[in-house]
Structure 1
Amino acid sequence: MTDQTPQQLIDELDSLLDVERAALVSGDLQKLEPLLAQKEMIITKLNMTADLERETLEHVQGKVSRNQILLDSAMEGIRAVAARMAELRRVRKGLDVYDQAGRKTRFATSGTPSLEKRA
C-alpha cells in the first residue's frame, strides 16, 4: 500500500467497509479489530491527501454511516445479553421479596441450579 492514489485508497476503503458490513451482519465480531486497524491506516492516508474532493468520498461516507448503525446495534445487543446474564446470576443467588411494611428480604436458594427439559 505504498504510493497509492487517492482513488485507490477510496476503493480499498470501500471494499473494506463491505467486509466490515458482512462481519457485522453475520455476527462475526472477531473480524472487526483487524479491520479497524486497516481502516484507520487508510483514513490517515486520505487525511494527508491535499487534492481530495468531497464528492469522491460521498459513497464511502454512506457506507461508514451504515456500518456505524450496525455496530451500534451490535453493541446494544451485547449490552442486553450482559444485563440478562447478570440478572440470571442474581436470580440464582436468591429471591428478593417485600413484606407488608415494604422492607426487602432476600431468600437464598440452596443447592445447585438444575435445568428441566420438557418435550
Structure 2
Amino acid sequence: MPEIFVARSEDLPEGGRVFVTANGNQIGVVRAKGQLHAYLNICPHQGGPVCEGLMVHRVEEIIAEDKTYQGMRFSEDDLHIVCPWHGWEFNIETGRCAGDGQHGLKRFRTEERADGIYVVV
C-alpha cells in the first residue's frame, strides 16, 4: 500500500496536527494521548473539516450513589475532536461519533519510524 510522508516526529508534538493530501483527499494526522491518529478530514454529518476542530475531553455528568445530579466534569480519558461546522464529536482513538456510534471517521494507519511519520493510504 502507498505511504505518504507526514512530518518528522519532532515536528508533531502532543496535541499537534498536520494535514497531507492523498488521492485528492485531505487527511488530518494528530498526536494525542501519545499516539498517532489519522482520519479523512471529512465529517460524515455534512462534510465539514472535522480534523480542524477543537480537541476536548468528553463532558460527563456526575451522579451520586443516591442518583442525585452533582454537576459536570471533563473526562480524563475520553478525548474528542469536534467538527467546527456543527459540533459533532468523535473519539480521537476510535473515530466513532460520541452521539451516535453508527457514524465514524475514515481512519488511516500511521507508522512512526526513525526518519519520520507516514500515513498508509
Normalised by the length of structure 1, the TM-score is 0.23
For the pair shown, the structure with the greater C-alpha radius of gyration is 1
* Structure in which a larger fraction of residues adopt helix: 1
Larger relative contact order (CA 8 Å, sep ≥ 6): 2
Give the TM-score, by structure 2 length: 0.23
